[in-house]
Every structure is written in C-alpha cells, then in structure tokens.
Chain A
Amino acid sequence: MKALKRVGSVAFAVMLCIALLVGCSSNSSTGTGSNTAGSAAKNEKNDSGSKERVTLKVEVFDRGNSPEGMTVTNNLMTKYVQENFGDPNNIDVEFVAVPRSEEINNLNVLMAAGTAPDIIFTYNEGAVYSWAQQGGLMDLGPAIEEHGPQLKEYLADSLQYGIFDGMQYAVVARRVNLQKYSSLIRKDWLDALSLPIPTTTEETYEALKAFKQNNMGGERTIPFGFALAPDSYEPVIWSFIKEQSDEARYLRSVTIGSREYPILMDGHKDALQFLNKLYNEGLLDPDFALDKDKKKKDEHFVNGYTGLYSFDSGQAFGNGESSAVMTLESNVSGAEVAPVLPWTDFEGKNRQPAYNPSGMYIMVPSFSKRTAEAIKYLNWMAQDEVIQYMAFGEEGVHHNLVDGYPVRNSSEEDQKLLYNTGDMLIITNGIDFGSAENNNEYMALSVVEKHRELAIQSRSFADKDAVQQPISFDKPLDSEAKYSVVMLEKYEELLVKSIMSKPEEFDKVYEVTLKDFMDTAGTEVFEERKVAYEAMQQ
C-alpha cells in the first residue's frame, strides 16, 4: 500500500500541473485559425532592398541517420549554408525537418496551418499538382528572371518540367544519370554450357531454357530473376513495343508516377504472352507476384539461384564491399557475371526506358513572403564551388582526388559533413562531370576495383537505345493524378493474372483484366489524354 500512496502523491502533483495548464491554455484556444494567406502574399514584392534581417525556412528530409551530436536541422552543412549564404545576405536560414516517409501528410498539415517552410520539395508529382491546382504555389517565373540567372543556366532543360498551365510553379532539379535498368547474366553458367552471351531475345530465351534444363543453380534454379517490380517487367515489355511515334505514346500509354505504361500499344500483349510462356516453362520465380519489394529476387541472386538478373542501374555494384555481386561471389565460389542486353525489339534494337533529366520539385508556398530569398538561395547553390563543397567537401579532408575525380573518403569528417548531401544539395540529382563517360568513370570509382570494368560496361549498356519517359503534356492530367494508385494496382493485376494463366487461357485472361483496368480508370484517362493531345496539336 505504500507504493500506492507514493504513486498517489506523484499523481496529485501531475494533476495540479494539468489543471493549471488546461486552465490557462483554453483561453487562447478560442480562435481556431484558418488560413487565407493565399491572396495576401500575392501583392508582396521582393524586399531585398530592406536591411532588416529575415528568416528563410527550408525543408530538409529527416531519415533518422544523423551522426551523433547532429540533427538534420543543425549540422556542419547547415552552418556552411548560414555562413556562406545567410550571413552575407542578411538572412537567417532555418531548416525544417520533414520525416521522409510522411512528407506529403506532413507538408499538407503545415500548409493548412500556414507554417510550411518557404522552400519545400518533393518527388511526388501528384502532390505538386494538387497544390498547384488549389492555388497554393507561387509562380516563380518572375523571381527566377530577377534573382536566378545562374540557377536558370544550371538547370537548363529540367526547368520546363515545372511549368503547369504556363506558370513556373516549381523549380525542377536536374537529374544527371538517366540510366534506368541494367541486367547481368551468369557468365560461368554460360561457359559451362558453352553458350555465348546472348544478344537477342531469342538467344536469351535459349540460355534461360538451358539454365533450367541443366539445373545450373541447383534444385532451386530460377533462370530469370523476376519480381513484381518495374525493374523486372519494364525492360521486357518495352522491348516488345512496336510503336514509337509520339502520337502512340500520347494516346496509347498512360503515366503512372514517373513511368510510362504502353498498355494499349501494339506489342504490349505479346510481351505479356512471352512472360506467360517463361512462367509456364518454369523460367520465372513461381512466387514472383508476392515479391513486391524485390527482396526475394535479390536473395535468389546473391545465393546463386538466378541466371539472368535485372535491376535498377547501379544497384548491383553499389555499396562497395557488400554489393550484391560481391555477396554472390563470396556465397558461390566460381560465380561470375557479365553485363548483358537481353532483349531486342522488332528492329533488332535494345529499346529500353530511361529517366527524364528532371529530379525533385522545389516550390515556394503562396503564403510565403520569401520568394526572392528562396530563389536567391537556390541561385547561390547553383554556383560551381558551392555544388562542389556541398557534394564533396574539401579535398584531403572529406574527399581525395582519384584520377582527377573527387571521391569521398568515408572518414569521420566526411560522414559528419556529407551524410545527407543528397537532401541538402537539392538542385541536382547526381553530380555532372561534363559527359556521360566522365559520369560513368566517376560512378565506377565507388565500385570495388575488380568490378569497375563490369560496372562501367553495365551502365553504358543501360544507355543503349534508351527512350526517356514518361512523355509529358503541357500540364498534368486530372484523371491520372486521381487514379495513380488505382491504375498501378489494376495494372499489376493485369500483369500477374495474365502471366500466371495457363497458356491456352492467356487471351481470355488478358482481355478480362485489361477490361477491368479500362473500366476502373483507363477509359477516363485515355479520353483525357486524347483531349489534351488534340489541344496540344493546335
């Protein structure tokens, strides 16, 4: 009972505190402030002339990976920004942490409360569109003209991706590396079977069959590592597409997220029929439909069950010593991989998708009074020496020069300054060294030495006959924004059900699931695309 008394007295004290707090705070709670800042901010012009010190609030992702003693809002890099941009311009740069995985919810709440940072950014095109539509974004055109000469020059082409309805609602970051997917094949298996590295779809198919027949990876051989993920199905599907005109791409494919799906194009059905054949002949992982996060696909590869393995460019060699290829080699003695372009299209080319040269969307909310400062900040960031520092720090301290390229040295200093460089240096996605070859060479320096050649070859393969996607309209489409998740789910159903059907039922299943896709969202989307396309032609 003594314990109970003790708890009781603590509780009583707590109760008193609460009473006091509730008592005084409920007075101030009467006005539930709703925000009508949208219009108020419009008449505000740049106040750069004034000597008053102002605060510029900038979003930064929080991924919970800050080194000890630092936070994403207060670290060596934020100090650098303050000292080199803030102080000379009489601006306090304040960083606002937004949890990476909840960014949209979080930003929406901050917008509703009128407390969103002056610079916000996201990769979520749907969110950008919905904010623009609700009148919540500032047209940055004039400010860029006035304060952003360097920014404009630096971003060049990518800036056009931020124009909706003729307004520059977003500054769109550059994307340097446009390669999307790469494939590797088990060279040691091919050698054992005395097969060459395949160069056509036909040869690839033969190799896969041979892998299966000879159980090259043991009882669990999976000739073609396949998951329910774009890096598995996109390369195959695009190689079957027979149409290439812009018109076809506008009228017979849809955009879901950052990808173009050529659903109604000639060849799409053939692609699925081909995958159906592979599935029924046991050349794919029978559980591929359950492998949403590609975990199984990667596991099978590093354990040596997989013959042909396609992946997001750069992934298989990334991570230095613990890369997927290194793990494979340590798990399976004698394992050897070779880069491969497995699929050829009707012209014998290796048509494959690539990224557009655009990265994240950077915006200023309409209620912000710091448009000029925001653009000045981005403009400052676009200087060579700033990019250099924000990406690599100082030579000898944070990076070393290897073959003329700055390579981060993984020292404690490096980790402290650059642990979230990708989230701080927001105007670019990847660092440009002037040419694709240079960029490739630079990328290879992060790969373990014995794989560098392979990595370079693999990445340059990803550039061959690559087509940038998605093709974009002059403004985003309502229906596509509305149905993006629905369409993806229905499309996955179409894929899974038709690939897994019995060969003789393929036609029927394909038809039924395609109809389902069209009925739930497709028809509406294609109609809107048609209207928008016709409007564009005029």
Chain B
Amino acid sequence: MERRGKFTMFDVINTLFILGCVILCLAPFLHIMSVSLSSNAPIMSGRVTIYPIDLNFDAYTRVLSDMSMIRSLLFTILLTLAFTASAMVMTTMVAYTLSTEKLKGRKLFMLLIVFTMFFSGGLIPEYLLIKSLNLLDSLLVLILPGLISPFYMIIMITFFRSTIPESLNEAAEIDGCSDFGKLFRIVLPLSLPVLATLSLFYAVGRWNGFRDALFYITDQNLYPLQLKLYQMVMNNMISEVTLAEGANAAAVQYLPESLKAASIMFATIPILIVYPWLQRYFVSGLTLGSVKG
C-alpha cells in the first residue's frame, strides 16, 4: 500500500532525525549494560561509559544461577499475563458501555469514575481495606486494585468512538445485533491497535510496578521481580541512613554495581520484547475491509 516512490530529501532528513533520537535513547541503556559487564575498579573510577571495560560475565552468572531470581521472573510473567487479561476485560466492558452515546446515566457514571482519578483514600485506608478483604499476601492483591485505570478507559472510549463509524453501528442494530454481538463482532475486531496499545500499557505498568507489593506482600514467594530489584538497587543508596547505620550496614553484604546493573537488564529485557510482538496488531486497513464486507 506504500507507494514505492523516490527517497526524497524529506525522507533523508526524517530518517536522520529518527536515527539521532534512537541513539540518544539507546545510550543510557548501553551504559547500564556496560556496567553490568565491567569489573569493579573501572566502575568505581567512573570510566565505564557505553562500552564495557574488563569485560566479564560474572554478574550475569550470579543472577542467572540465583533460583529465586528465576522464580521471581516466572512469577512476574504469570502475574503480568493474568493482570493484563483481567484488566483488559474489565476496561473493555466499561469502555464499550460508556462509549454508547445514548446510554442512560452515562454522564453520571463517567463523573463517578473521573472523580476517582483525583480523590483517593490514601495509603492507610487502602491498606485497611485490603486487610479486611483478606487479600494481604495473596496474588489477587497485585491484580484486583488496579484493574481499571480511568485514564486508559477514557483512551479506549475515544478510540471506540472515533474508529467505528456510526453508520456501522446503526446497520448492526437494524440487523438485530445484540450489544454483546456488536462488541464481539464489530467493535473488538476493529479496535486491535488500541487493544494492543492498552494491553502493552497495562502489562508494562504491572511489570514495572512494585509499590503495592512493597506494602501488601511480605511472603517472598510472591515478590514481583521489580520489588526484588528495587530492594537491591535502592536499599543501599540512601546514604544518610547507611551512614548512621555504620557498623551494622558494614556487617551487611553489599552488592557490587555490576550485579545491580545485570539485575536491571535481567528485569527489563523480557518486557521489552512485548512491544515488537504487539506491533503486528498495529495493522491498518481493517476499517476498509469490514465496511465493504
């Protein structure tokens, strides 16, 4: 469908521009990777930039031979899948319903939901709620409280409205299509790009999120990978505290920088693969086909 035209000046400038952006975005990642592959002395001297010095794989050997890291990785993959699936179902249900312009009470529902974007009870009441629901230290606590993001819901509504022509809706209704039928046969097939996008957003949010686990999970078998990572990277960074800790902190084993960097790579690379995989759903031309068909 792309016209095989000349490679114009516009293309040259555009390609170079994007190339520049790519380099800028890649550099810090290369830096972290280089740290993970370097030995301690050059790291301490600040000599490691975007290529490793004294190349070695010790840090990765350590990370990969740590069963608890591997288990945490598998757990996090499972958690992310379960969360993303449930969140997409819930968000789709509410977004589809509220995208129906004629729905009675639509404005009220919207207002109630938008309200929650701004007002929240705060840490303590939320903790008490989770506790009284008996959800502490369970897998569900990492899934249920975040099921619907009003932000993503609004985006989905916007896409539903703008990609699905009103004419199609009306046609379906005349054909006696039920609301469920319309959702499954028309709306969802036409909305693959936004479904892919929001799945990505939910998945990445869950993958990177650890604040909830920090408070709700004490069972280390349920530690998401990012929480483990946070503990490793952050816990020894608060200099003010470690200073007062003195001998106690010194009596605690410290993790070398390269190990931290290797763990960051270990925790980041799996989720990076998701986007290229989801890109296949960014296909256009579906609108065309279904209207004609």
Contact = CB atoms under 8 A, between A and B. Distances in A.
Determine direct contact between A and B, CB below 8 Å: yes
Nearest to B220: A71
Contacts of A99: 214, 230-231, 235
A317 B114 CA distance: 57
**How many residues of B sit at the interface, in one of the four size bands?**
35 or more
Q: Which of B45, B147, B192 has the most CB of A within 10 A?
A: B45
A327 B41 contact: yes
A68 interface: yes
Nearest to A355: B246
A430 B247 contact: yes
A90 interface: no
B107 interface: no
Contacts of A257: 240, 244
Interface string B84-124: 01101110000000000000000000000000000000011
A294 B242 CA distance: 13
Given A14-B85, A101-B238, A359 B44 contact: no
A318 interface: yes
Contacts of B66: 68
B244 A123 contact: yes
A29 interface: yes
A64 B235 contact: yes
Contact of B220 (A29, A97, A123, A299): A97
Contact of A97 (B41, B128, B218, B246): B218
Contact of B231 (A18, A64, A296): A64
A106 B248 contact: no
A302 B43 CA distance: 11
Contacts of B147: 18
B42 to A, nearest CB: 9
A448 to B, nearest CB: 14
A113 B127 contact: yes
A109 B123 contact: yes
B186 to A, nearest CB: 13
Contacts of B85: 7, 10-11, 14
Given A25-B135, A322-B40, A429-B248, A18 B127 contact: no
B235 A33 contact: no
B41 A64 contact: no
A4 interface: yes
A303 B47 CA distance: 9
A69 B67 CA distance: 7
A63 B252 contact: yes
Given A65-B255, A97-B218, A176-B247, A32 B45 contact: no
Contacts of B238: 100-101
A1 interface: yes
A123 B82 CA distance: 39
A109 B124 contact: yes
Given A112-B128, A312-B243, A96 B218 contact: yes
B135 to A, nearest CB: 7
A236 B127 CA distance: 47
Interface string A120-160: 00010000000000000000000000000000000000000
A376 to B, nearest CB: 22
Interface in B123-158: 123-125, 127-129, 131-135, 140, 144, 147
Contact of B86 (A15, A62, A96, A419): A15
Contact of A29 (B133, B140, B247): B133
A34 interface: yes
B8 interface: no
Q: Which of A97, A293, A330 has the most CB of B within 10 A?
A: A97
Contacts of B232: 63-65
B251 interface: yes
A21 interface: yes
Contact of B235 (A63, A73, A176, A177): A63
Contact of A299 (B45, B90, B123, B133): B45
B245 interface: yes
Nearest to A231: B243
Given A63-B235, A123-B245, A299 B44 contact: yes
B252 A419 contact: yes
Given A100-B231, A109-B127, A123-B244, A33 B132 contact: yes
20 contacts: A4-B189, A4-B192, A14-B85, A15-B90, A18-B86, A18-B147, A64-B231, A65-B252, A65-B254, A73-B218, A99-B230, A99-B235, A100-B231, A115-B131, A123-B241, A230-B243, A299-B46, A420-B252, A422-B245, A430-B246
Interface of B: 40-41, 44-47, 65-68, 82, 85-86, 88-90, 123-125, 127-129, 131-135, 140, 144, 147, 184, 188-189, 192, 214-215, 218, 220, 228-232, 234-241, 243-255
Which A-B residue pairs are the 7 nearest by beta carbons?
A64-B231, A430-B247, A422-B251, A422-B248, A100-B235, A299-B46, A11-B89
Given A14-B89, A257-B244, 18 more contacts: A4-B188, A25-B134, A28-B134, A63-B235, A68-B67, A97-B218, A99-B230, A100-B235, A109-B127, A175-B246, A177-B246, A258-B244, A319-B254, A322-B41, A322-B44, A324-B44, A327-B41, A430-B248
